[in-house]
Homo-oligomer: A and B are copies of this chain.
Amino acid sequence: MSTPLKRVLVYGGSGALGNQLVNHFKNKNYWVVSVDMKENQAANANILVNSSQSLIEQEQNIEENVKQLLNEGAKLDAILNVAGGWAGGNASSAQFLSNSDLMWRQSVWSSLISASLASKHLKENGVMTLPGAAAPLDLAPTPGMIGYGMAKAAVHQLTKSLADEKGGLPTNTFVAALLPITLDTPMNRKWMPKADFSSWTPLEFVSELVEKWIEDPSQRPHNGSLVKMDTKNNETQISLH
């Protein structure tokens, strides 16, 4: 009898970090489903998000697809949400409202849907990660990217609430938000070609960290951790908030 494969859902599976996670866990013989606006061909299955739909419509679509993909009674070992982009602007910017709305849809809608999926399809002792950010920690002002800071502050608050035993997730779900400062992605290299790449966090660091949490519960930090990743001279340290 072979051990059943672990099953992971990667929300944002076509982005740089999402793609890294899909590939990493495929290489470990996990069954991986990607949720994103476009397909990731490396995944075992894809669920496509229609970004013009409402929050409720998106959730219904994804929920129905997850239900069909999982065999009867099958559960996910982890839901890893790495969706979300970046847009700037302060209160006097022409794009202030539309960028704030976009940040909300990308980071928060995906996190709310991930939480709802976790309440139904995650195993006990499973892992859920959410897309936080270091910038708004401890209510540090984020005036040049107001909507981004608000969305990430909301994700941090969600992380703390879901980690609470009354948050509505299966028993002993481990919930953490990942707070990179800058990830070493092709897009970031393209837009900031003169930056010091040795201070950017490698995508492999993140996928290995998450794998450790899935495989070995004793490696998990306290539930609800906001896990800041700080890279200097190609060495990444994490700090918990």
Contact = CB atoms under 8 A, between A and B. Distances in A.
Interface string A128-153: 00000000100111111011011111
Interface in A56-111: 56, 59, 90-93, 96-98, 100-101, 104, 108
A154 B156 contact: no
B169 A157 contact: no
Contacts of A162: 91, 143, 146
A126 interface: no
Nearest to A224: B141
Per assembly, the copies of the chain total: 2
A62 to B, nearest CB: 11
Contacts of A164: 141, 143
B142 A168 contact: no
A183 interface: no
A42 to B, nearest CB: 29
A166 interface: yes
Interface of A: 55-56, 59, 90-93, 96-98, 100-101, 104, 108, 112-113, 115-116, 118-120, 136, 139-144, 146-147, 149-158, 160-169, 224, 226
